[in-house]
Structure 1
Amino acid sequence: MSPEAEPHVPLLPEKKSSARPASVSGAVFNVSTTIIGAGIMSIPATLKVLGAVPAFVLIMVIAWLADVSVEFLLRFTHSGEATTYAGLMKESFGRVGSVAVQVCVMITNLGCLIIYLIIIGDVLSGNQPDGSVHLGILQEWFGVHWWNSREFALLFILVFVMLPLVLLRRVESLRFSSAVSVLLAVVFVAISSVLAVCALLEGKAKSPRLLPDLENRSSFFNLFTAVPVIVTAFTFHFNVHPIGSELARPSHMIAAVRISLVLCASIYFAIGIFGYLLFGDSIMADILINFDRDSDTAIGSLLNDTVRLSYALHLMLVFPLLNFSLRANIDEFLFQKKPLLATDTPRFLWLTLVLLVISYLAAIAIPDIWYFFQFVGSTSAVCLAFIFPGAIVLRDIHGISTVKDRVVAGVMIGLAAITSTVAILTNIYSLTGSRS
């Protein structure tokens, strides 16, 4: 196949490789790491907006739609010659399609990397949402100093933790960090569940709202702002092809995706319930901020600190995985005729450093992850997760779509477009209303 027919993704392994095929368990870890990311942080806040029952239903529906959309992508991939998401869209819609995927991956991944740094900054140096002060771990341990400020703490993490990881030139080098990151996420949920159970036994737990509070028309439209948050939490489609290319059979990727979706949906709903039991309506868009509360016992304080540090470390390990896809897509978009990025050290280094600097500056300037989740989920993430896969099915250049496929694809695109539009308009109204 000619280079013009298929965009090449730098640093990714070739589809046909002599290397030993990856295991399904390894694929489950990589997919789960991509899914969980920072999405788990804002899931409890969606229960605050939606109520427990609608939130559970929405998580299940979006997880199911994500499974359907991935099945669409893989089926059309193996019916044609494409080996990447961008290549798949190029087969159906030409150069415009491949560029659309690359731009959406850039927006989604860069947004997520900024969100990761915001959360890490919240954990280490605290935040002050709506005027209320939430101290970070470093400030609680050592007091407020210049060296544990948000700006300095994030700079230290970027230079001494992030930089060595993002300088790795092969995605295979990140497989162990992905496994550790999933384990840390499980530790986070486990400790949260223990704290919630203790609160229940002590009679301090908050009663979760089962249904949304619809006091007025604006409350109803605010429900739509939770949808993009959950969509972003289930957007992993940009890593389907690189992870699937390492497996022996396409069916193995479908199985890995389904296992990961069940696992992550369970984790999401569990942390949503446990978080709401602990903090009720006082829950923040980033639940880690809530864990700065004082505890009556030394063990309680230790658990609060452990739950925050475990997830901050989790995000540090997820960061290079998403940075890998982001860097590859930017390089493919800007330097199509250049040598492979892994073989061009100057280009690799300056592109890596530029992405780190942009992420750092944005994380310092933006204090609230809720708006970032809504923006990304209402635009690029919903395109990658639902609109593009649905459009490929409706285009059907291989003639393999069934009537059921076309109906599901049409409904998927329609729901995604309507909810995203309402969410964007609601956010604009909220922002303009708060400033007037």
Structure 2
Amino acid sequence: MEAPLQTEMVELVPNGKHLEGLFPAATPMAGNPRVVGPGRSCEGEGFLQKNPGKEPHFTDFEGKTSFGMSVFNLSNAIMGSGILGLAYGMANTGIVLFLFLLTAVALLSSYSIHLLLKSSGVVGIRAYEQLGYRAFGTPGKLAAALAITLQNIGAMSSYLYIIKSELPLVIQTFLNLEEKTSDWYMNGNYLVVLVSVSIILPLALMRQLGYLGYSSGFSLSCMVFFLIAVIYKKFQVPCPLPPNFTNVTGNSSHAEVVRGEAQLPVDAEAAAFCTPSYFMLNTQTAYTIPIMAFAFVCHPEVLPIYTELRDPSKRKMQHISNLSIAVMYAMYFLAALFGYLTFYGGVESELLHTYIRVDPFDVLILCVRVAVLTAVTLTVPIVLFPVRRAIQQILFQNQEFSWPRHVLIAVTLLVCINLLVIFAPNILGIFGVIGATSAPCLIFIFPGIFYFRIVPTEKEPGRSTPKILALCFAMLGLLLMTMSLSFIIIDWVSGTGQHRGSH
């Protein structure tokens, strides 16, 4: 069925004209008032549909999501647990180098979305997998769907791992227990299943992504609270931590633990230790670049959000993307800066753990942990949507929407991810490989090569500046993938990776 649909698409573009800029608010193309289409509602298809009496649309429903809700959804898709590790990244790069790298990655991510949107506008497709099919046929479609599935399953699993590990500790703190008990509500496996069934599944069953804008806004509010707490704590925690340090809650400090494990200096070395570094290169610096790159992964969600946007246009969606990236850029930098300026070289790979070691019963940090748990819980349904769409593109293309199938895919995905989180003894290495392969593909490689193949040569020759830049962009992705996989393999061989903890 795919080949005839592509033929119909070509017929809609007479005399070398393209569909870029054609959206629901646009008028029919001159010389071809009758839109040719499959004539039925296809789940996941990005082609123009035949719909008498209405303006042509890319999908089988009219987008209803506002500009603000779209910003919330995309920002929530960008925001991840990686924000907890950025202070550690700054401690291994210095403030200036960290700011330079973060700025470069944010700009490259925005450029990558520009390539996706322009490719989408040329052929009238708003599905990542279909862009792959348009560029390279079935292999391209399968490669894109596989990358999206692996990346997002890895992301969802990491979020559920945070719930599994953090929620029992939060409950233990709420109950003021010195040690964990054997009760079911202190068992992370039971809690992650309970959260998945009661919160994540109902949100994941919604048909349209735009309805999650409210939960996305609340999730972002939780992360803003986290940022405010990090800034506040900078002025409450002295440097270096004295042995008898007592914080604002009145609980005695566990500074000796921090001093012993993080090797905080004392006396003569204190002044040097509490001086920030602006530029630093060490063995851990190379890990900061992939961490930053993965922190801006949102590309599988861009085209679904674009599809559901009210009165969509390429320029409007690019503004949404730029605003979302700018907001996350500011939050990432501020969280990293103030977290680093609080503990300097003593910061751990997960920032919250450093605060917990200072005082595990700090009320503010307890609230922050609850906020982070809420944020990652509400992010899982956003990340699940592109995975379900990828599965539909591979297995159920050209079929009408079906609620039983829609529900079955969501339930199956959540069951598989829960089983992975519960029974896998250690999947950090698997996550590392997934992140080092799928993220560079989705951010750098696929957008660059799709753009090169899809944009016609009569519009932009193969040696034109935009296409050369797109190829260079794809080559940069290959370089990052090679570098990331090399460091992971070196870590596996040497065993040094276990000392850094997870990000």
TM-score for the superposition, normalised by structure 1 = 0.85
8 Å CA contact 1:90, 1:96 repeated in 2: yes
Residue 111 of structure 2 is matched in structure 1 by 68
2:367 is the counterpart of 1:324: no
Q: Work out whether 1:312 is the aligned partner of 2:373.
A: yes
Q: Which amino acid aligns with 1:210?
A: Y
What's the CA shift string for 1:285-326, capped at 9, x where partnerless? Answer: 333333423549x8xx11101111111101111111111221
Match of 1:153 among 176, 185, 191: 191
Distance 1:211 1:30, change over 3 A: same
- Aligned partners of 2:210 and 2:305 also within 8 Å: no
Residue type of the alignment partner of 1:363: V
Cα offset for 1:411? Answer: 2.5
Report if the CA contact (8 A) 1:208-1:277 is conserved: yes
Say which of 276, 279, 283 aligns to 1:211: 279
1:24-423 matched pairs, under 5 angstroms: 24-125=67-168, 136-142=169-175, 143=177, 144-146=180-182, 147=184, 148-199=186-237, 207-214=275-282, 219=283, 222-245=284-307, 246-248=309-311, 249-295=313-359, 301-336=362-397, 338-340=399-401, 343-345=402-404, 347-364=405-422, 371=429, 374-399=432-457, 400-401=459-460, 403-423=464-484
| Aligned Cα root-mean-square deviation (Å) | 3.1
The separation in 2 between residues aligned to 1:292 and 1:162, in whole angstroms, is: 27
- Render the CA deviation track for 1:206-228: whole Å, top value 9, x for unaligned: 544433343xxxx2xx4333222
Query: Hey, what's the Cα distance between the residues in 1 that align with 2:99 and 2:44?
Result: 39
Q: Structure 1: state its 5+ residue gaps.
A: 126-135
| Identity %, equivalent residues | 25
The CA deviation at 1:193 is: 0.9
Tell me how far apart the structure 1 counterparts of residues 294 and 130 of structure 2 sit (CA, whole Å).
Answer: 23
- Whether the 8 Å CA contact 2:45–2:127 is kept in 1: the answer is no
Structure 2 distance, partners of 1:258, 1:320, is: 23
Structure 1 residues 99 and 223 mapped into 2: Cα distance closer, same or farther (>3 Å)? same
Q: Conserved in 2, the CA contact under 8 Å of 1:285 and 1:369? A: no
Count of paired positions? 414
Kindly indicate whether the alpha-carbon contact (under 8 Å) linking 1:11 and 1:169 is maintained by their aligned counterparts in 2.
no
Residues 114 and 318, structure 2, Cα contact 8 Å, conserved in 1: yes
Name the stretch that deviates more: 384-393 or 114-123.
114-123
Q: Distance in 1 between matches of 2:230 and 2:46?
A: 37
From the two aligned structures, give the one with the greater helix fraction. 1
CA gap of 1:160–1:393, structure 2 versus 1, over 3 A, is: closer
Q: Does the CA contact (< 8 Å) of 1:9 and 1:84 recur in 2?
A: no
Q: Is the 8 A contact 1:123 1:289 kept in 2?
A: no
What's the offset of the Cα at 1:107?
A: 0.5
Aligned residue type for 2:237: A
Q: Aligned partners of 1:87 and 1:283: how far apart in 2? A: 44
Show CA shifts across 1:261-291 (max 9, x none): 1111111111111222334344343333334
Aligned to 2:251: none
Structure 1 residue 363, shift from structure 2 partner: 2.5
Q: CA deviation at 1:370?
A: 6.7
Q: 2:493 aligns with which of 428, 432, 435?
A: 432
Change (3 A) 1:153 1:76: same
Change in Cα spacing, 1:201 to 1:426, as seen in structure 2 (3 Å) is: closer
CA contact (8 A) 1:117 1:363 kept: yes
Amino acid at match of 2:280: P
Distance 1:9 1:150, change over 3 A: same
8 Å CA contact 1:113, 1:322 repeated in 2: yes
TM-score (norm 2): 0.75
Tell me the distance in 1 between the aligned counterparts of 2:239 and 2:87. 21
**In the aligned structure 2, how far is the partner of 1:54 from the partner of 1:370?**
27
Greater C-alpha radius of gyration: 2
| Structure 2 segments unaligned to the other structure (5+ residues) | 10-37, 48-56, 243-272, 497-503
Q: Given residue 349 of structure 2, which amino acid in structure 1 is its aligned partner? A: A
